[in-house]
A and B are shown apart, each in its own frame.
Chain A
Amino acid sequence: MQVSGLRGKAAIVGVVDAASPTGELELTGRALEVDMISKALDDAGLTIADVDGVTHTSSSMQLAEHLGIHPTFTDSTSTGGSSFEVHVEHAAAAIAAGLCEVVIGVYASTPRSDRKRPRGGAGRGMPPGGMGPMAEWEMPYGLQAPKGAYALSASRHMAQYGTTSEQLAQIAVSTREWASMNPEARFQDPITIQDVLDSPMQASPLHLLDCCLVTDGAGAFVMTSAERAKDLKKPPVYVLGAGTCHDHMMISQMPDFGTTPGVQSGKKAFGLAGVKPGDVDLLMGYDSFTITALLHLEDLGFCEKGEGGPFVEDGKTGPGGSLPMNTNGGGLSYTHPGMYGMFLITEATKQLRGECGPRQVEGAEIAVAHGSGMVLSCMSTIVLGTEASL
């Protein structure tokens, strides 16, 4: 029995994503989802008739019915923004186990243009499972959701490790440098550390430019077995490892506000993949806020715990740096429709195929897509690699 039965057994073979500099898209809802699925299947050279596995964050059954397909693998896991990494993990395991052969995943959300729609759009989602304990133990105190939760984590990290607002701001600055090379990014003009510090304080210590965007966005992926992937249109991007862990739901129950369950998810994913942080050419690390990205760098082992601030200071996560991070411009500057994890997968895949034009990371062979769901609650890590990495 092989210990790492996942490594190289499944591959991402089709991806697409959509966002725009206006922050708005024309389509919405199911129409936008189906548009994404069609394009991702086309990217793979497959058709809907090939699909026998469906993933979705609310109802994979409803989506399958809409598409008129009868999948033998279905997954409606919702862990917030990291749902799509979890879907890739589950799909890879299902494909490796022979439960299914071709799995699709999709996301579409249009919070920005919904403001103009008669029904006012879908509105702010409630956490799955209802408000329950959150209504009783958090809501009375008026913490802004979700940014206040991240602010509490940042305040703790600063007090414990000496992390500064300037260091957090550097993450926004480096990410914007990447966005300047993505014509679809919402914000493409360069910013400085001072711009971040001068932007209005939202929930101390987080300023406006420490926070992600609110934009329309959508994407989809197609996965299949390593065997079948060889004959498709694009070079396969293999799933080398995957891991997920959650250690709380609401922020007040987070065991350590300076450390996420990315420690566990990362260890699992890197272990299955047989790679070390030093082997990683590209990190797509969920950046709902600057502090979120900083915590990933520490918890995935790119630097020591508490050293994230000094680590990012020299701009090494920006263009030309030693650890390219969030090359599409991230949730901070490219797009953030609410559950951003889909865009980690699409960008990592495109980078490993060498399709990213001016922002292409030269010779990228191994990429990590690391999703964060709810309020630093559920981390899911996917290690992806080219054929050469197998």
Chain B
Amino acid sequence: MVLVKSSQADGRIHPQKFVLWVAMGSIVMMFAGLTSAYIVKKSQANWLEYSLPLVFWYSTIAIITSSITINMALKAFKAREMRQYRTLITVTSLLGLLFMGLQISGFANLEARNIPLFGSKSNSATSFLGVITILHMLHVLGGVIALLVIFIRAYVSKIKNYSSLPIEIISTYWHFVDFLWIYLFIFFNWLR
């Protein structure tokens, strides 16, 4: 990838980081669109009231923890503690996967209680929950893949790369996805 980089001496933000911020704004708009649709829909007839599966609490704890570990990974990278850094990003990715697994078990819980998310017997209240959480999970998956890429790159590339830019970008994104879930969690629990 050819990247034209502007000098950092003037204190301007790195273009790639900037791109990430704009992209996050764009993702926010997508979820804002969906949650507003949810609110509009809720005020109309035929809206199912149900309680969220308990396991969403655990997934919330998992994703918050992963934000802490990725932060530690960033610190470790900057301190050149590469061993520790690799362990920490592995833990972070695993927590990301665990989060996704817990979300899926939450869906299974609803199905078991006979509250289908999709299909002709579903209600849009739960369909919304399904669509929004699945979209969010895809964003988590994107973060996991990005971590995997830099992890593999650290092994494969012959040149030692001391730029902390990739891990900085991914950790910003990771925190963002974390906050996004917290927002959604609060939204589903109390704002709806």
Do A and B come together as binding partners? no
Chain A interface (Cβ < 8 Å from any Cβ of B):
none
